[in-house]
Amino acid sequence: MSSRTSRSSRGPVTAFLLRRTATLGVTVLLASFVVFLIPYVTPGDPARKIIRSRVAGAVLDESAVQALTQDLGLHESLVVQYLRWLGRLLGGDMGLSYASRTPVVEQVLPALWTTLSLVTATLAVAATVSVVLGTVAALRAGSLPDRIITTVTQGFVAMPEYWLAPMLVLVFALELSLLPSAGWAGPASAVLPVAVLALRPTSYFTSAVREGMLDALAGEHVLAARARGLSRRQTVRRHVIPNGLLPLATLAAVWFAGLLGGSVIVEVIFAIPGMGRLLYEAVLNSDIPLAQGGVVVVVGLAVVLTTAADLVHGLLNPRLRGHHA
């Protein structure tokens, strides 16, 4: 009986997984086409922009422009260029950077590793702080500490990174000489950028943890636990906190995806050689393969992460799984 039940529930789950995976593939393919088109819908001749990125100055040698156009196949139709690019991409070849003439993948992977480190540290800090603040706020809902936590963390959202980053540098690097103002060499150099990036997720995470825990506190299973004689502390530890943290996992996955490409300002200000700065400079230099490779990786990871979060959420939630399936 139990094995029949297991087989019967495996069918919808498999279908759900297949459907989500297929959606993932289509999404990535569509995203790749949009990414491929970006440099072509911006004004200006790519060959001229590429030469300017390598040899500064306004006056260009027209014969060099023509030669480069031929050499890079820029004279061919967009469809031909896209298919050639996609074919290489599927084989793990992102092409050569126009500016440096080195493989794009050799530039993207170190930058990705740097950004992954930055984002992981950011979300770890944001999650830790928000679990503490959200728990306190939920357990003392309506009290002064709750109101202070809610007001302060909501204020974080109103602090733009381009303002906060110089302010923190002014205080901690210039005035107090406690931390380096820029660079990416050791834990000390990560403190300020992580602090700047962590502020907004901390705000949203705290709110999510607080709401999740309030929902859990009002749940029947909590009342039942208390009725069974569990202390408030035991009830909170066993039943409230685990349920309260569920929305945090989904939210963190979404933020992780967003920060992969959304840390441009912080990476430029703090001179961090991550994906944001790589994309920023690729655009400035009209380095089409580098920009395409970088965006594809960021978008691909973002789609995979959000889909993974969706899958986990769906698998943990039978009602949601049924809806998806």
Partner 1 sequence: MRAVLRTSVSTGFVAVLALSACGFTGGEEQGERAADQGERIVVDNFRAPVADWSLESDAAYILSLSGCLETLTRYDEAQGEIVPSLATEWQQVSPLEWDFTLREGVQFQDGTPMTADAVVASLQNVLDAEVPARAFGPKVVSGVEAVDERTVRITTPTESPLVPYRLASVNTGVLAPAAFESGTVDPFGHCTGPFTPVSEEPKQSLTLDRNEDYWGGPVQLAGAEVRFITDGATRATQVQTGEADISLSVPVSSLSALESDPEVEVLRADSPRTATLYMNNGRAPFDDVDFRRAVRSALDLDALAASVYEGAALPATGPFAPSEPWAPETAGTPQQDLAAAKELLTAAGYTADRPLEIIAIVERAEFADVATVIQDDLKSIGVPVTIRTAEYAAVEPDLLAGNYDMVLSQRNRLIDIADPIGFLSADYTCEGSYNLSHFCDEDYDRLVAQAAETADTEERYELYTRAGQILQEQAVNVWLVNEQAIDAVRADLQNHAQDPLSRYVLHADTATPGP
> For residue 26, what are the contacts with CB-CB under 8 A and spacing of at least 6?
none
Please report the DSSP string for 79-90 in residue order.
HHHHHHHHHHHH
The helix (run of H) or strand (run of E) holding residue 57 is none
Q: To the nearest whole angstrom, how small is the minimum distance from the Cβ of residue 102 to partner 1?
A: 6
Q: What is the CA radius of gyration of the chain?
A: 25
Residues that bind partner 1 (CB under 8 A): 42-45, 48-49, 51, 53-59, 61-62, 64, 68, 71, 99-102, 107, 110-111, 166, 169-170, 173-174, 177, 180-185, 268-271, 273, 277-278, 280-281, 285-287
| CB of 51 or CB of 208, closer to partner 1 | 51
Q: Which is nearer to partner 1, 6 or 177 (CB)?
A: 177
As measured in angstroms, the least distance from the Cβ of 295 to partner 1 is: 18
Q: Which residue, 112 or 240, is less far from partner 1 as judged by CB?
A: 112
Residue among 281 and 310 whose Cβ is closer to partner 1: 281
Q: How far apart are CA 208 and CA 247, in angstroms?
A: 6
What would the DSSP string read from start to end of 110-141? HHHHHHHHHHHHHHHHHHHHHHHHHHHHHHTT
Nearer to partner 1 (CB atom), residue 185 or residue 227: 185
Count of positions (residues) in the chain:
325
Instruction: Determine phi and psi for 92, rounding to 5 degrees.
Output: 80, 10
